[in-house]
């Protein structure tokens, strides 16, 4: 069953909880066969079997082990060997293989776990409404465009409701996304705002950005770079947003961002910071959500 926003019923966290409950209920007691997604079977107690991992992960030997957490009583994949691979890459691989949001994204057809960050932000702030015109900056790989297209009803799946428009732009090619238009464009280039308004067919109701500069490993430098991106995205939003519009962007906690906050509070009716549940606990990322855009009025004649 689906809601009128064309999303599976319940929040991502609730669906994950239900998924874990099913896993727990379906787990077989000792000496009863149980299967996992990779196709092997075993009997408890067992010698941890080796798993076949898709070629995109390279050659790596994995072992399956039972977890002791309350939420999930299924199997957890642990990387035990990683020839010619850095330890940081091994940790990333293990985290990806065991991330419930990664599994949920694959099951529900999203291009990445980041889609659930936008779902959770919009569930709280309700800005992706049918008929809205949405601009996604730095749209690759496309998960945010997928969420926006469903919620603003670009394909007219929500009968009796207005159909919206979603434009994604990125400096690199993005595979086609049903219900969204994706263009290769550097939004910092001259004339970018005019091209965007042409593609949208007017001004935007929502400008959103999940962009992040490549990490240097230096905390202060990374903060400055991502804040510079956010400020540039905000400047573009001031040019293309319609009155009452919404701006959403990723920022990093732990550094100076007061200047951006001051500017946003002057141009928007409400500005809040949010860390959605889908954002990893060890990540410093958070999202600024600014609603009720106020366009600057020119001097009176």
Active-site positions read 250
Sign of CA dihedral 10, 14, 20, 21: negative
CA quadruple 125, 130, 132, 133: dihedral, nearest 10: 120
282: left (phi over 0), alpha (psi -120 to 50) or beta: alpha
CA distance 37 to 54: 13
| Cα angle value 153/159/164 (rounded, 5°) | 25
CA of 192: how far to CAs of 88, 201, 283, 286, in Å?
38, 14, 31, 27
CA distance 2 to 10: 9
């Amino acid at each position: 069953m689906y809601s009128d926003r064309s999303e599976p019923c319940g929040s991502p966290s609730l669906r994950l909880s239900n998924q874990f409950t099913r896993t727990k209920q379906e787990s077989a007691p000792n000496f009863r066969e149980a299967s996992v997604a990779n196709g092997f079977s075993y009997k408890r107690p067992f010698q941890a079997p080796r798993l076949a991992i898709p070629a995109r992960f390279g050659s790596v030997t994995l072992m399956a082990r039972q977890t002791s957490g309350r939420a999930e009583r299924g199997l957890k994949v642990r990387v035990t060997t990683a020839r010619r691979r850095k330890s940081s890459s091994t940790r990333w691989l293990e985290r990806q293989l065991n991330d419930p949001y990664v599994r949920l994204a694959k099951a529900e057809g999203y291009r990445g776990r980041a889609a659930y960050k936008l779902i959770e932000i919009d569930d709280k702030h309700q800005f992706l409404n049918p008929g809205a015109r949405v601009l996604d900056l730095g749209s690759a790989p496309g998960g945010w465009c997928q969420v926006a297209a469903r919620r603003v009803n670009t394909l007219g799946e929500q009968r009796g409701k207005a159909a919206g428009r979603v434009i994604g732009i990125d400096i690199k090619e993005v595979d086609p996304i049903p219900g969204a238009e994706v263009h290769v464009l550097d939004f910092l280039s001259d004339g970018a705002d005019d091209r965007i308004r042409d593609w949208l067919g007017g001004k935007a109701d929502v400008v959103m950005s999940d962009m992040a500069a490549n990490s240097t490993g230096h905390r202060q430098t990374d903060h400055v770079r991502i804040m510079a991106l956010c400020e540039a995205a905000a400047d573009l939003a001031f040019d293309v947003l319609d009155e009452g519009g919404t701006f959403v962007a990723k920022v990093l906690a732990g550094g100076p961002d007061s200047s951006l906050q001051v500017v946003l509070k002057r141009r928007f009716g409400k500005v809040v910071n949010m860390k959605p549940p889908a954002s990893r606990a060890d990540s410093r990322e958070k999202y600024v959500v600014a609603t009720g855009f106020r366009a600057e009025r020119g001097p009176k004649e």
